[in-house]
Amino acid sequence: MGQQIQVQNTYRNIIQLALPISIAILIPQLNMLTNTVFLGNYKPSLNNFTTQDLLAASGIAGIYYLTIVMVGYGLVSGMLMLMSRRAGENDAKGLGKIFSNGIILCLALSAILIALSWLIAPWIFRLAIHEKSIQTAAISFIQIRCWGLPFIMLCQLSNSFFLATSNSKKIIMGSVVQTVVNIAMDYVCIFGAMGVPEMGLNGTAFASVMSEVVYFVVVFLIIHRTKNFKPYAIVYFKNIDFPLMKETIIKSSPLIIQYLLSIGAWEVFFIFVEHLGKAESAVSQILRSVFSIVGVVTWALGSTSNSMVSNLIGQGEEQKVIPLIKKIITISLSISLILGLPIVLFPTYFLSLLTTDVSLVEMGTVSLRIVVFATWMLSISTICFNGVLGTGNTRINMVFEFIAIILYITYISVVVEYLHLPLPYAWCSEFVYWLSLFIMSSLYLYSGRWKASFQTQRTNQ
């Protein structure tokens, strides 16, 4: 075929796959950080909203959008696992067939999520958010932001295709273009420039949607014009394979539920924090940006773990899975420590870069350190959890997620909603979630139970 799509269990191969993904994930996180910085330094000309209102609304509405995006990512993660398995078997056409049918599934799911967002999101925000001004801002934001869903889901699918085919470098180009467009349009739309009216928080929504459209165009031009992708026989809206779609949905549905529970629980967290006060909610939006930036490499390595584990199993190399996961954890934890240590040592300086509000800087210092410590736990547990996903048993991932979410919701309900303890105690909930996932995932991987089904399949063959 001219291209090697079977991975090798080496540090070099891990880094080659993960580095472009890290850059691609970092860029959208920088977009989000830019939104936070612009809003943190934005003084609305109208008296309807304060800066804290906009930061708080951005946090709650942003997490809602992230929740529905991650529902799509659950579908795409299932397809990544299936495509990686085909890559391990060196089945290029089978891989391309999964991608081609995945386009239809992504568009259908995004249409459903847009409709639900228009119908349900306003009701959720009015019911859950106490401050009227934050309610209004959040509803207005999400009714613009949700139109980016079809484009971002197709980009996620394309990135999974690049990763499964060991072409992760291709991910970078679209992400760079998206960032340039997003940052430029953020400034223009938030503050009002170049003839564009001042839109404040809604400006971030417009800018993000436009950048996702551009991202989509660039990514699909790459796929369409790259000669190396011709062996995959990718087609658009042709040769629809309903049994394959059914298999994809069955494999992905536990992941969809899993991500819905996971990010949905974070939405509950931000709603509870809003009940603590407007300032606490604004600070948490800043902390969310930091959490995302520091966790970038880990999430990239998590996707790499999913893909490489599935690829090795496709090659019949189950005995190499645990050593591979250990190598990825070593890289993940090392980088997370390097990224997080400066923030732990100089939290006040770092927060002052994100907002000019001195009271928010003072309130967020202790919580920022806790967030960074939590990313160190995340750097280990995410790799194990995605390693389990790579074995193909998506139902066990959903079970682990469900148990972790119950523990997480119980903690924040008691500590934040009932006891109303200060913000640092609220952010300690991240340890509850990530530690429980690590314990369950690592025990499952070391048990070796996931190997039995593959050995049985090969015996039958």
- Provide mean pLDDT across the span 158-165: 83
Lowest-confidence region among 110-114, 150-154, 306-310, 399-403: 306-310
pLDDT in tens, 232-244: 777 787 778 888 8
Lowest-confidence region among 129-143, 411-425, 442-456: 442-456
Q: Which residues contact 313 (CB under 8 A, 6 or more apart)?
A: 85, 88, 321, 390, 391, 392, 454
Percent of the chain with pLDDT over 70: 88
- Provide mean pLDDT across the span 358-367: 87
Which residue has tokens 């290029």? 92
* Per-residue confidence (pLDDT) for residue 107, from 0 to 100: 93
239 Rama class: left (phi>0) / alpha (psi -120 to 50) / beta:
left
pLDDT band at 25 (very low <50, low <70, confident <90, very high): low
pLDDT, the chain, mean: 81
- Provide mean pLDDT across the span 64-79: 82
DSSP labels, 304-316: HHHHHHHHHHHHT
Q: Minimal CA–CA distance to 293: which of 26, 6, 76?
A: 26
* Per-residue confidence (pLDDT) for residue 10, from 0 to 100: 73
Q: Is it the case that residue 80 has pLDDT exceeding 50? A: yes
* Domain positions in the chain: 11-455
Q: Is it the case that residue 4 has pLDDT exceeding 70? A: no
* Per-residue confidence (pLDDT) for residue 150, from 0 to 100: 92
Averaging pLDDT over each range in 78-87, 298-307, 372-381, 451-460, which range is the top one?
A: 372-381
* Per-residue confidence (pLDDT) for residue 46, from 0 to 100: 58
d(CA 98, CA 330): 32
* Per-residue confidence (pLDDT) for residue 26, from 0 to 100: 63
Q: Which residues contact 400 (CB under 8 A, 6 or more apart)?
A: 385, 388, 437, 440, 441, 444
- Provide mean pLDDT across the span 412-423: 91
* Per-residue confidence (pLDDT) for residue 355, from 0 to 100: 73
Amino acid at 402: F
pLDDT band at 1 (very low <50, low <70, confident <90, very high): very low
Q: Minimal CA–CA distance to 75: which of 96, 104, 116?
A: 104
d(CA 60, CA 83): 34
The more confident residue out of 299 and 18 is: 299
* Per-residue confidence (pLDDT) for residue 2, from 0 to 100: 45
Q: What is the dihedral of CA 100, 106, 107, 111, to 10 degrees?
A: 170
* Per-residue confidence (pLDDT) for residue 139, from 0 to 100: 86
Amino acid at 188: V
Lowest-confidence region among 29-43, 181-195, 276-290: 29-43
Q: Is it the case that residue 319 has pLDDT exceeding 90? A: no
Q: Minimal CA–CA distance to 86: which of 76, 104, 72, 99?
A: 99
Query: Which two three-digit tokens encode residue 176?
Result: 């760079």
Lowest-confidence region among 281-295, 320-334, 339-353: 281-295
- Provide mean pLDDT across the span 21-38: 65
* Per-residue confidence (pLDDT) for residue 28, from 0 to 100: 58
* Per-residue confidence (pLDDT) for residue 32, from 0 to 100: 66
Lowest-confidence region among 36-40, 164-168, 181-185, 349-353: 36-40
The CA distances from residue 81 to 90, 99, 164, 232, 402, in Å, are 14, 12, 8, 17, 21
Largest Cα–Cα separation, the chain: 71
Q: Is it the case that residue 453 has pLDDT exceeding 60? A: no
pLDDT in tens, 56-68: 777 777 778 877 8
d(CA 154, CA 103): 7
Q: Minimal CA–CA distance to 313: which of 76, 97, 81?
A: 81
The more confident residue out of 24 and 302 is: 302
* Per-residue confidence (pLDDT) for residue 29, from 0 to 100: 63
pLDDT band at 390 (very low <50, low <70, confident <90, very high): confident
* Per-residue confidence (pLDDT) for residue 431, from 0 to 100: 92
Q: Is it the case that residue 454 has pLDDT exceeding 90? A: no
